Structure formats: structure tokens, C-alpha cells
Amino acid sequence: MGSEATKRIQQLGHAAEPYIIEQRRYFHQHPELSLQEFKTTEAIARELDGMGIPYARPTATGLIATLAGTAPDAYLPDGSPRRRLLIRADIDALAVTERTGEPFASENEGVMHACGHDCHIAMQLGCLRILSQMRDALHGEVRAVFQPSEENGGGSALMIDAGACEGVDGAYAAHIWSEVAAGTISCEPGPRMANTDWFRVDIRGTSCHGAMPQRGADAIIAAAEIVNNL
């Protein structure tokens, strides 16, 4: 069954390629900033409606879709899925002005998908399109989370609080990366890259007369030394 499923995925993936490219260019052309992804979420919802995949919108711009498998053992007697796997794509853009000259360049001045989230949306929609045609091979559920506000670090908490991770057996969140050769993936267990966090350092200096700098403490010089050492 494994080799047969792989062949189906490859065939369906090849057929879905134009769709994925089309979606990526659409979302690239219509970027929205963190927590302002209203039109983006509407466009995602329209695509899911076309695939017949139900979804919920627990936050203003976040969306959680559920693709139910139809394999004979997909659900346990109590109605719960045998397995529930989560896939996640972030959907927000950056406050960057695009100057690429591409025909599908951003139409929103000062906003650009400069970090690849347009690709992530398109990839996840393409994944769901493929899997929606393979429901009979799914032994459980696939939960697809379209997460807002990744760039400012707050969207994951919003979606977790909305229950996105409840009852899942595993989660998969991909990111495009230019240093990985085309046609390959980089995957390993454990944490990857860095988390988002905030801290504040206040530097307090001591004023003095300009002719007697030795009696003062220059906060700018102290701050620069901290930056260099960090």
C-alpha cells in the first residue's frame, strides 16, 4: 500500500503543480500584514470550499480546516480519529516595499511576502488538494492550520489558545529555505532555528560638562559595547 500511495501522491502532485504556482502568485500579489490578513483568509476559505473541506475560523484571521479520512479504520468506535496530524502554514507578510518587477508583484504598496509565506499557503493548499483526492488512504484526520501573525511572534499563541493543537498526535510546519537544493527537503528531530522572544535593557548614563567627560558615563558608548558583545 505504501508504494501505491506514493505513486498516487506523485501523480496528483504533478497535476497540482500549476494550481500551486497559481495560488502562490495570487497570494504574493495580495500580501497583508500581521493580524490584518482578512482577504488572505477569505481567499483560503474559498479554496477550501471548492475542495469540500470544512473549516472553522476561531480568530479574526486564523483558520483551521479538517480533512477526514475514509479508510475503514480511520475512526475508532467512539468517533475519534485513529490518528490526527497537524500541518501548519503562516499567512502574513512583511512591511517591505517590493521592487522585483515581476508581473505578480505586490499590489499593496509597502507590503510584501518577502519571507515566503505566500509559498507556504500555496504549498498547504496543494497538499490538501492532493490529500482530498486520497481520503480513502487516510487512516485518521489531517488538521490544517493557517496561522496569522507569525512575523510579530504572536500568531502561534493565538491559534494554540483557540485549540489548534488539542488532540493532535504530531505537527508538521514547513518553511522554504534557499540554502536547501530544489527538489530536496531538510528534516531532523528536535527544535530547528530560533524562537521569538523579547527583552529590554535600559542604559542609564551620568551627565557631565563636555570639557570634563571623565566625570560622566556615556550611555551610548555603554550600549554600543553591549551590542558588540552580544
Please give the chain's pLDDT, 230 residues, in tens.
578 889 999 999 999 999 999 999 999 999 999 999 999 999 999 999 999 999 999 999 999 999 999 999 999 999 999 999 999 999 999 999 999 999 999 999 999 999 999 999 999 999 999 999 999 999 999 999 999 999 988 999 999 999 999 999 999 988 999 899 988 999 887 777 767 678 899 999 999 999 999 999 999 999 999 999 99
The per-residue pLDDT for 187 is 86
DSSP designation for 172 = E
CA–CA separation, 16 vs 14, rounded Å?
Answer: 5
Edge-to-edge strand order for the sheet containing 84-90?
A: 55-56, 63-68, 141-147, 84-90, 170-173
Question: So what's the pLDDT on residue 95?
Answer: 97
**Which of these, 201, 228, 206, lies nearest to 218 by C-alpha position?**
206
C-alpha cell at position 104 = 505578480
Which pTM does this prediction carry? Answer: 0.85
Q: How remote is the C-alpha of 143 from its chain's centroid? A: 14
Q: How far apart are CA 13 and CA 5, in angstroms?
A: 12
Q: pLDDT at position 189, please?
A: 79
In the chain, the amino acid numbered 5 is A
Beta bridge partners of 63: 146
Give CA–CA dist 28/7, Å, rounded.
31
